């Protein structure tokens, strides 16, 4: 049987990464994965379509694959995920060079689709969003892994396309998640993700909850630590806080997507919180879990966001004292309720506001970083920086990709994936420097 070389490009969030890893596990046995897509017989692009920027990135990657196909006409292209799920009628016609399109819940059909396109067919498989295709994965990360505990979303924030692409919120059954986690091998860190991790289990009606899931996963010997991302503020309850306080495997870190802090803007976004309720939550978390690291994301330039509303958000950033935060200019997405709102903000104003928010948060991060100088933390070594001539890794307050790193000097040999004690000596923005002890 001839070996088929498959190159894969995974775009978007870590939830999309999990989808890609499951799809890789479902490839036919005669397929081998290559890292250089220009050498592949089949190029698969797993897309994101959450924002216009992500759709543009997806199209760019597809066009690059088409250029490879022009050089080698035998190359086949498969586009999967959010872009075809939402926009199949447009892209099927506009991208005739693509051999197959598959939706967000069609990864289990990848083997059949490959056979079809190799026989000369052009395929579109766009089913309704449903359950996960498998508990098996081909990991693309080292030392840590993401566990997607649910898909879809039922919160219906007025700016968001996710419910229209991924469908309503669907928790994965707990026994399937436990099996999947066991299959991932030895992990320094298992990172739980969903559109809203704190809503886990509410749709299953079998007693499942995020707290219970954390307890079950904590019993796994192959999992050293658990991190939580995307915890909606309204669903952070005392049972979860108790886990953060008392479960030694649960990292004292929360990513809480607040999105804004002005009451009027939050109401227009269909968010349930307020300036004061968010500050109260942050105060409570810091009081109950004193060493907790909090991260969030915010949208600025939302329709009708006045200067006063924006300044209130800036004031909140200063008061909240978050370890880190991401800021995004509002993207007007057709098909969402916010698309029709009056008072749309010019792009130039959005850009200016994003810059100010990043500048504000950077000052907060530097202040927090200075308070860590002289303290010693456990750091998982991940690599060596040839420019800085130092090793680097992550402490408990550093999630992969979105937070800073800890760069450290070591007189002794360092093994990647192992944990070392590092004493912090200096601050550089979101990054820290230290010496191995």
Q: What is residue 184's predicted lDDT score, i.e. its pLDDT?
A: 96
pLDDT at residue 1, as a whole number: 65
Each residue's pLDDT tens digit, 287-303:
999 999 999 999 999 99
* CA-to-CA separations, 375 to 202, 218, 435, in angstroms, rounded: 40, 28, 11
What is the spatial distance between Cα 178 and Cα 386, in angstroms, rounded to a whole number?
39
Q: pLDDT at position 344, please?
A: 96
User: How confident is the model at residue 408, as a pLDDT?
Assistant: 97
Q: What is the pTM of this model?
A: 0.94
> pLDDT value at position 362?
96
Q: How many residues does the chain have?
A: 437
pLDDT digit string, tens, across residues 360-415: 999 999 999 999 999 999 999 999 999 999 999 999 999 999 999 999 999 999 99
pLDDT of residue 284: 98
Are 303 and 333 in contact by the 8 Å Cβ rule? The answer is no
Tokens of 4: 């088929």
What domains are there in the chain, each with its CATH number? 4-125 (3.40.50.12160), 144-367 (3.80.30.20), 373-436 (2.40.50.140)
Residue 2 pLDDT? 85
Q: List the structure tokens of 147.
A: 């566990």
DSSP bridge pairs for 432: 406, 427
Per-10-residue mean pLDDT, the chain, length 437: 91 94 95 94 95 93 96 96 95 96 95 95 94 92 95 95 94 97 96 97 94 98 97 96 97 98 98 97 97 97 98 98 97 95 96 98 96 97 94 96 95 93 95 96
Closest CA to 311 of 356, 268, 276: 356
Please report the pLDDT score of residue 359 as a whole number: 97
């Amino acid at each position: 049987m001839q070996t088929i070389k498959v190159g894969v490009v995974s775009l978007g969030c870590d939830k999309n990464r999990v989808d890609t890893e499951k799809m890789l596990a479902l490839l036919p046995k005669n397929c081998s994965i290559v890292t250089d897509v220009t050498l592949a017989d089949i190029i698969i692009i797993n897309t994101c379509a959450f924002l216009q920027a992500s759709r543009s990135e997806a199209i760019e990657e597809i066009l690059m694959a088409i250029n490879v196909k022009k050089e080698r006409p035998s190359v086949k292209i498969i586009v999967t995920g959010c872009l075809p799920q939402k926009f199949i009628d447009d892209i099927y016609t506009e991208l005739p060079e693509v051999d197959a399109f598959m939706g967000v819940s069609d990864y289990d059909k990848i083997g059949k689709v490959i056979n079809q396109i190799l026989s000369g067919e052009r395929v579109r498989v766009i089913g309704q969003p449903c359950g996960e295709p498998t508990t098996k994965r081909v990991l693309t990360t080292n030392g840590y892994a993401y566990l997607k505990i649910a898909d879809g979303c039922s919160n219906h924030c007025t700016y968001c396309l996710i419910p229209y692409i991924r469908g309503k919120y669907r928790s994965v059954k707990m026994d399937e998640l436990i099996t999947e986690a066991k299959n991932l091998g030895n992990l320094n860190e298992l990172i739980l993700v969903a559109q809203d991790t704190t809503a886990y289990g509410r749709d299953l009606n079998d007693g499942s909850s995020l707290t219970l899931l954390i307890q079950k996963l904590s019993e796994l010997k192959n999992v050293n630590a658990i991190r939580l991302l995307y915890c909606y503020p309204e669903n952070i309850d005392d049972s979860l806080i108790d886990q953060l306080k008392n479960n030694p495997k649960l990292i004292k870190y929360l990513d809480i997507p607040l999105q804004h802090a002005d009451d009027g803007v939050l109401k227009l976004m269909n968010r349930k919180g307020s300036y004061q309720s968010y500050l109260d939550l942050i105060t409570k978390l810091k009081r109950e879990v004193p060493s907790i690291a909090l991260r969030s994301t915010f949208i600025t330039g939302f329709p009708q966001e006045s200067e006063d509303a924006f300044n209130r958000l800036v004031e909140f950033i200063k008061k909240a004292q978050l370890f880190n935060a991401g800021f995004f200019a509002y993207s007007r997405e057709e098909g969402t309720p916010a698309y029709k709102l009056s008072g749309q903000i010019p792009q130039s104003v959005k850009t200016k506001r994003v810059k100010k928010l990043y500048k504000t948060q950077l000052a907060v991060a530097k202040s927090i970083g200075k308070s860590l100088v002289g303290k010693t933390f456990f750091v998982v070594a991940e690599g060596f920086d040839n420019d800085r001539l130092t090793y680097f890794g992550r402490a408990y307050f550093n999630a992969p990709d979105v937070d800073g790193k800890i760069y450290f000097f070591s007189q002794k040999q360092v093994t990647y994936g192992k944990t070392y004690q590092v004493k912090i000596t200096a601050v550089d923005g979101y990054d820290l420097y230290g010496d191995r002890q």
